[in-house]
Each structure stands twice: as C-alpha cells, then as structure tokens.
Structure 1
Amino acid sequence: MYEDFTIADHWTGEELHCVWKGTIVAIATRHADATDIRFAVNHKPVWIAMPNMAWVEMKRTTGHVITDYLAAQAAGRYLKSIIGSGYDNGREMYTMTVEEVLEHAQAVVKEVGHTSELPSLPVINDNVQPETLMGRLPADNVKIPVSATTPKHPSDNIPTAN
C-alpha cells in the first residue's frame, strides 16, 4: 500500500521511491502537538506531521482509533497525493490538517476493508515479516499461540548470506 510505493513526480516525471521509515511523537522531539511520520523519498528524508488532535477527532466522530499502522498508511497516502499533484519537492516537512488526516485515514480503511488488513510495519525487507522476527503483538488480534509464532531466539529467522 502506502508504506512502500513508487510514483512519478508531477513536474519532472522522475520516479520517486517512497518508503516508510518510522513514526515519532513530535512532542518530545520538536515540542509540537503532532506525530511525525518519516519516509525516505529516493533516500532523502521527508516528514509528514500529523496533528495529534486528529486522533481525538477520529475517536470522537467515528468511535474508532488511528493505530500506528493506519497513521503510517494515511501519511503515505497523503505523500503520494501531494507528489502526484506537484508538491514543492524541496521541502523536508509537510503538515497535514486534522481534516486531511481523517480523510486519508478513512480512505485507507475503505481501501483495505478493515484495519486488520493493513500491512505490518516495520518494513524490514520484502522477504521477512516483522511478526516472524519479533512475534505477534497483542494489538494484532490474532488467536495464534505466541509459542507458535515466536522463534526461540530472534536471530533464528534472520536470513543469512551464502
């Protein structure tokens, strides 16, 4: 979906590869009432700042919450939309409004059908899913015994170079 995608720049036609890199609560890092979602766009950092009030508004208006997975997907969808419409590609940070967060989050959920269908994060590599290395998280709502999914040691499932 939007954690790893390629899109052509609106003005130059250059292919831009966008990959989610992390989510940081900006209260601690830049004293902002926002959550920053970091992407690498052709290996250059681009931050999408999402106001924390959007989490409150989503819960208030829909009764649902914005999960970490959903926030990353909504920010990625927003990034893809601004690149496609000719954003100012010299900037390193873009700030979404509360309305934009709600719009993109709801559009992502509509695309996948349910938040349980969102891709896992982090993107370790295309061949390794995080639940293989780290086990399932309680929020994954999967009725699989932890012992069935968790290796004896995390390094047991790391692919080795031949």
Structure 2
Amino acid sequence: MYEDFTVKDRWTDEDLHCSWKGTVVAIATRHADATDIRFSVKAGSSSPRAIWIAMPNMAWVEQKRRTGKVITDYLAAQTAGRYLKSIIETGYDNGREMYTMTVEEVLDHANAVVKEAGSTDNLPSLPIINEDISPERVFGRLPADNAGPVVMPPEHTVL
C-alpha cells in the first residue's frame, strides 16, 4: 500500500519512489509530542532524500476516544505514506524535510487506509527487509499483531 509506492510529482512530472524507513517517537529525539515516520524519496537516478511525516500523538488518543480502536504501528506508517502521496500529487511537497499532520488529517487518512485495506489485519507488515522474505519469517509474529497466541520457536524456550 503506502509503505513502498511510486507517485508522480505534480510540478516536475517525475516518478518518485517512496519507501518507509522507520518510525520514531519524537518525544525522545526532538522533544515533540509527535511520532515521526521517515520515508526515503527518490527521483530517477538522483540520490534519495529523507522526508519525515510528524503525526501528533494526540491523534492516537482521539482515535481511541472516537472509535474505541487504536492506531497500530503498521497503520501509522500507512497513514503517513498516504499523506505523503497526497502532498506530492497535489503539489504541496516543496522540498522540505519535515511535514506535520494535524490530528484530523491523521484520523482522516487512517480511516481511508483501513477502508482501502478492508481491515487492519490486511495491512502489510513492517519492516521490509527483503521483498522476497516476509518479516514474520525473520522475526516471527509479534503479540500486538492480534492473530492468536504467540508460539515461540523451540530455540527460544525458557526452562
């Protein structure tokens, strides 16, 4: 979906390849009440540039208050990617390194992502380590994935 996509820049008509690179709670890094989602954006043979999408942490609280559901890490990355795609398509991207979403933008884009996917269960797993190998194969399933009990491989069994 929006963790790895190509979009056409409105002003240059270039195809830009955007890929999710990481999620950082900005309280620790820049003392902001936000979660920053980093994307690498590359045009043609040029060097990629980093774009950060700052999402206010209050959006997580508001989502839970309004719907009773939470914004997962996977949904946050998809939401930020959808927002990034929209600002590039509409010409809002002006080369800045960081863009800040409002609480309403986060909620609107998150709802649109869930609607497109059909359910949060259908969102792609992150991180993308190798396009040919799913993260679950490398890391196993995380308890937050809500897919039943976690079964650890025998080599991780504690006696």
TM-score between both structures, scaled by the size of structure 2: 0.90
Q: CA offset at residue 144 of structure 1?
A: 7.0
For residues 50 and 151 of structure 1, the distance between their equivalents in structure 2, rounded to whole angstroms, comes to 39
Q: 1:14 to 1:142 in 2, by over 3 A?
A: same
The answer for the alignment partner of 1:33 in structure 2 is 33
CA contact 2:41–2:50 (8 Å) conserved in 1 = yes
Aligned structure 1 segments of 4 or more residues deviating by more than 4 angstroms:
150-153
Q: CA offset at residue 151 of structure 1?
A: 8.7
Q: 1:152 to 1:74 in 2, by over 3 A?
A: same
Q: Which residues of structure 2 form unaligned runs of 5+?
A: 43-47
Q: Which residues of structure 1 form unaligned runs of 5+?
A: 154-162
CA contact 2:141–2:150 (8 Å) conserved in 1 = no
Q: Which of residues 67, 70, 83 is equivalent to 1:65? A: 70
The secondary structure found in structure 2 opposite 1:133 is helix
CA contact 2:40–2:51 (8 Å) conserved in 1 = yes
CA contact 2:143–2:150 (8 Å) conserved in 1 = no
Instruction: Give aligned pairs, total.
Output: 151
The answer for the alignment partner of 1:16 in structure 2 is 16
The answer for the alignment partner of 1:158 in structure 2 is none
For residues 125 and 26 of structure 1, the distance between their equivalents in structure 2, rounded to whole angstroms, comes to 27
Q: Which of residues 101, 110, 117 is equivalent to 1:105? A: 110
* 1:72-119, Cα deviation, whole Å (9 max, x unpaired): 000000000000000233100000000000000000011111111100
Identity of aligned residues (%): 74
The secondary structure found in structure 2 opposite 1:101 is helix
CA contact 1:7–1:16 (8 Å) conserved in 2 = yes
TM-score between both structures, scaled by the size of structure 1: 0.88
